[in-house]
Structure 1
Amino acid sequence: MSSEPEATTPARRTYSYLGPAGTFTEAALAQVPEARGQVWNPVRNVAEALADVVEGRSDAAMIAIENSVDGGVSTAQDALATMPGLRIVGEYLVPVRFVLVGRPGTTLSDVSLIAAHPVAYAQCLQWLGRELPAHAHLPAASNVASALDMLDGMSNADAAIAPPGILEHHELELLAEDIGDNKDAVTRFVLVSRTVAPPNPTGADKTSLIVELPEEYPGALMEMLEQFATRGINLSLLASRPVGDALGRYRFVIDADGHVLDERMADALLGLRRFSPKMIFLGSYPRADRVINRYPERYSDDVFVEARDWLRGLISGEPTA
């Protein structure tokens, strides 16, 4: 008697993110279609999230990489520079909105001590100075932790600054919403996996790199930047981070408009590799804003291909027109 083979359920993928539930990082992960219905693993810091990926505990990790108000997230940039075997496969933008929350039954007039992560607190100073001028600040390890410690009685705070998503997970009193001073503030997150081949170009792509100057000499940084400028490539991010082995030694975190399979980008990467062997390719991936990359016609793929064919003809002795 034959029997039909039993259907196997596909293994669920695991995604690490900065927890606990309700963080901006969780909001970024919620934008990833393939992550829905999978296992979400909250962790305590960026290094732990990336270590989960490197060591195979997670398939990918969502980390914050840049904030429009505070700039690059140095812990994430340094981790990507020093942990091999990682690749950025996507980016996601999350508007930065803050709410003021308290224990159930709390009113705004009850608030004198506010728990908040220092970065969040700094981004709400105008509202706090206007609405609660006599308050005191209690620094917290994270935006969500500021509220949970208050809720659990672990801190003496009357209220906490937190992301709006926390209200979906915990019973808290909403005292005020949208209290951030910069209404256009946004945080950029990247989804990081183990090393994989980049997806096909979309025309609205970004390439992330970390490049170390090979040695210090006048014009070294300009020589590095010329690899992009002479090929018509715009840089949307250029940030320096200390290498750490000596004063004055820096590596540069770079986001360049384009894809590694674009002729101009591939040519630039070859030039960068010749310039600095200590170059890390972090990935080519679709831009979160889906804005099409623009460049002069003289840097189109066809022009690079024609130039290579022309050189090949010179070498082979083909007659020239």
Structure 2
Amino acid sequence: MTYAYLGPEGTFTQAAVRRLLPRTRKVPHQPFPTVPAALDATRRGDCEAAVVPLENSVRGVVAVTMDQLVSAGMHINAEVEVPVTFALMAPEGVRPQDITRVFSHPHALAQCERWLAERLPGARAQTAASTAAAAQEVAAAGAAGGAAIAAPPAADLYGLRILATGLGRDARAVTRFVSVAPDWSRPTRTRQDRTSLMLSLGTSGPARVVDILTEFDTRGVELAWIQSWPTGERLGSYHLFIDVEAHIEDPPVKDALAALTALGLGVRFLGSYPRWGAVTA
């Protein structure tokens, strides 16, 4: 199996692939420049699955992944959480006072904005497709006043020198990644499964949220995550992403989904899979 991931080498997404498959590091994984490109490769069959970032504990959901989940018709087969720590890195000879531009992924720049404002107030933030792409770009430019914010291992990969660490707003920051594929692979059930769903609220919009919560609550199904996402059709028109702490084949979940369908809501199953850290039964 070949895994597609947001590259280049040295991204947090590559770390997620390796953490998801700790016993099979030799499984091929291929970098792609963007999340949509990684998912396109999976849809075409060039790769069997793609690992993509879904949400961060500091900055919330990753917009491009949410958009792709709405439109791509993919299924989630696994999840993994990766601690996120950032380092400022630059080519040899570049001092902090020399830095005029700082490159990184938008989520990383946002998490480090306070540090940048205090330590490098004169530097201009510039976005890159990924943290490792930022390191690669800075390395290629040489000593031209540029620096990158990336995972510490990226410094060695691209021949950069770490100037500072611990840049993020919260040292406990974590990003949740998911492994997605066109088909649901029916992962081995555990006692700690999670089911991801996408609900279309229809013309009633947010007024149906109470009904949705009630159907799960009355059946004792615990919700782990709920996120609205615009359909793009008009103001007030939303999809609702929901994670429940149960398996799709559990009777209470089946009953709740049948009830929601009877209410006229669109229900799309995204996948049931072990929660990160769950022990296979």
Return the TM-score normalized by structure 2. 0.90
Q: Structure 1 residues 269 and 263 mapped into 2: Cα distance closer, same or farther (>3 Å)?
A: same
Query: What is the CA-CA distance between 1:121 and the residue it aligns to?
Result: 1.8
Report whether the alignment pairs 1:45 with 2:34: yes
How far does the alpha carbon of each residue in 1:139-164 deviate from its partner, in whole angstroms, 9 at most, with x for none? Answer: 33332222221211189443211122
Summarize the alignment of residues 299-314 of structure 1 with structure 2, pairs less than 5 Å apart: none
Q: Structure 1 residues 213 and 154 mapped into 2: Cα distance closer, same or farther (>3 Å)?
A: farther
Report whether the alignment pairs 1:66 with 2:55: yes
**Which residue of structure 1 aligns with residue 46 of structure 2?**
57
Q: Structure 1 residues 291 and 32 mapped into 2: Cα distance closer, same or farther (>3 Å)?
A: closer
Report whether the alignment pairs 1:82 with 2:74: no
Q: Which runs of 5+ in 1 are unaligned?
A: 1-12, 293-321
**Structure with greater Cα Rg:** 1
Matched residue count: 279
| Most deviating of 24-33 and 163-172 | 163-172
Summarize the alignment of residues 1-321 of structure 1 with structure 2, pairs less than 5 Å apart: 13-33=1-21, 36-84=25-73, 86-153=74-141, 156-216=144-204, 219-276=207-264, 278-290=266-278
Contact (CA 8 Å) 1:15, 1:35: kept in 2 or not? Answer: no
Query: What is the CA-CA distance between 1:283 and the residue it aligns to?
Result: 0.5
Query: What is the CA-CA distance between 1:48 and the residue it aligns to?
Result: 1.6
Alignment partners' CA distance in 1, 2:259 and 2:57:
30
Q: Structure 1 residues 186 and 130 mapped into 2: Cα distance closer, same or farther (>3 Å)?
A: same
Contact (CA 8 Å) 2:103, 2:134: kept in 1 or not? Answer: yes
Query: What is the CA-CA distance between 1:18 and the residue it aligns to?
Result: 0.3
Could you tell me the percent identity over the aligned residues? 37
**1:210 counterpart letter in structure 2:** M
Q: Structure 1 residues 157 and 254 mapped into 2: Cα distance closer, same or farther (>3 Å)?
A: farther
Query: What is the CA-CA distance between 1:51 and the residue it aligns to?
Result: 1.7
Contact (CA 8 Å) 2:94, 2:145: kept in 1 or not? Answer: no
- Describe the SS at the equivalent of 2:191: coil
Give me the CA root mean square deviation.
2.3
- Describe the SS at the equivalent of 1:228: helix
Alignment partners' CA distance in 2, 1:38 and 1:161:
28
Contact (CA 8 Å) 2:257, 2:267: kept in 1 or not? Answer: no
Query: What is the CA-CA distance between 1:46 and the residue it aligns to?
Result: 1.7
Alignment partners' CA distance in 1, 2:170 and 2:205:
40
How far does the alpha carbon of each residue in 1:79-126 deviate from its partner, in whole angstroms, 9 at most, with x for none? Answer: 112122x22111000111100101023333433432233321221133
**2:28 counterpart letter in structure 1:** V
